[in-house]
């Protein structure tokens, strides 16, 4: 009776309720995606999706754009968070506020601003070419993921002693850029990966910016499928969910590995 009394029934009930809140709609979607033939359980909807050449094209385009946004976000956020923590700690509230602005400004306002600034009448008409429009798309993805990337990296910076690491690297003759690349980056790798996979998940299904810039990406493709078909969008939703979970598993795997010893690596290259 003592063990039963100590069991956290309320916490277990809340956890079970939350699990059902997510699992019941997921199970219903899976069941619907398997009912393309009346009275039968079939994978025809999934076969149709994989046989559609546009599916692989838009998925590949979105994946490449998301990876580019991850790279751009890491290059911008890591040095910024490092420098603010090291030299400008009084500006942390301002940088945190600025990093949250994408959550306040709607994406439709952001993309219309891009179109107005970089449109046909501007000094830098990026929207006139596919390459320029793709660049704007990557920048938009980077801005949308900025709150998550910055928070992840900033928390990672707080978990290490960047002052001691910087002084040790500089005592070995490292420049500030090399310190960031060979010491700071490896030690916040788990934080960068956390922000990277969140960025990937957000960018993969983004619709507003992608649609208004008229890019052949996964978000508009999914919406268009939902307007034209019934079972195929359910299959696409399950595939997208599975793809996101694969990213989460990869994040957990890489984040649980022992971070590279950046200072030791620098010593080896120095010797």
pLDDT for the residue numbered 146: 92
pLDDT in tens, 157-201: 888 888 888 888 888 888 888 888 888 888 888 888 888 888 888
The pLDDT assigned to 263 comes to 44
| 68: nearest Cα among 136, 115, 152 | 136
pLDDT digits (tens, 9 = 90+) for 217-228: 888 998 888 888
The residues spanned by each domain of the chain are 58-270
* Phi-psi region at 128: left, alpha or beta (left = phi > 0; alpha = psi -120 to 50): alpha
pLDDT of residue 261: 44
Query: What is residue 257's predicted lDDT score, i.e. its pLDDT?
Result: 59
* Residue 265: per-residue pLDDT: 46
For 58-270, give the CATH class. mainly alpha
10-residue block means of pLDDT along the chain (271 residues)? Answer: 65 86 88 85 89 87 90 91 89 90 88 84 81 91 92 88 87 85 85 85 87 89 86 88 77 60 47 51
Question: What does the pLDDT read at residue 192?
Answer: 87
């Amino acid at each position: 009776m003592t063990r039963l009394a100590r069991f956290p029934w309320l916490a277990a009930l809340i956890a079970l309720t939350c699990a059902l809140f997510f699992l019941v709609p997921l199970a219903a979607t899976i069941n619907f995606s398997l009912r393309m033939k009346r009275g039968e359980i079939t994978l025809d909807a999934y076969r149709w999706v994989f046989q559609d050449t546009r599916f692989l094209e838009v998925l590949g385009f979105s994946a490449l754009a998301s990876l580019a946004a991850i790279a751009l976000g890491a290059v911008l956020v890591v040095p910024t968070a490092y420098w603010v923590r090291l030299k400008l700690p009084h500006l942390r509230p301002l940088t945190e506020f600025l990093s949250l602005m994408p959550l306040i400004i709607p994406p439709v306002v952001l993309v219309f601003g891009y179109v107005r600034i970089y449109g046909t009448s501007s000094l830098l008409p990026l929207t006139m070419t596919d390459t320029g429009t793709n660049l704007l798309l990557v920048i938009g993805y980077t801005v949308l993921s900025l709150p998550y990337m910055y928070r992840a990296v900033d928390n990672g910076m707080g978990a290490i002693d960047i002052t001691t690491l910087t002084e040790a690297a500089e005592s070995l003759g490292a420049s500030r850029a090399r310190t960031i690349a060979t010491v700071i980056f490896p030690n916040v790798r788990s934080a960068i990966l956390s922000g990277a996979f969140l960025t990937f998940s957000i960018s993969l299904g983004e619709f507003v910016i992608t649609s208004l810039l008229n890019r052949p990406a996964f978000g508009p493709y999914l919406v268009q499928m939902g307007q034209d078909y019934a079972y195929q969008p359910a299959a696409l939703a399950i595939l997208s969910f599975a793809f996101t979970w694969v990213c989460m598993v990869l994040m957990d795997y890489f984040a649980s590995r022992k971070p590279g010893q950046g200072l030791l690596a620098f010593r080896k290259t120095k010797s």
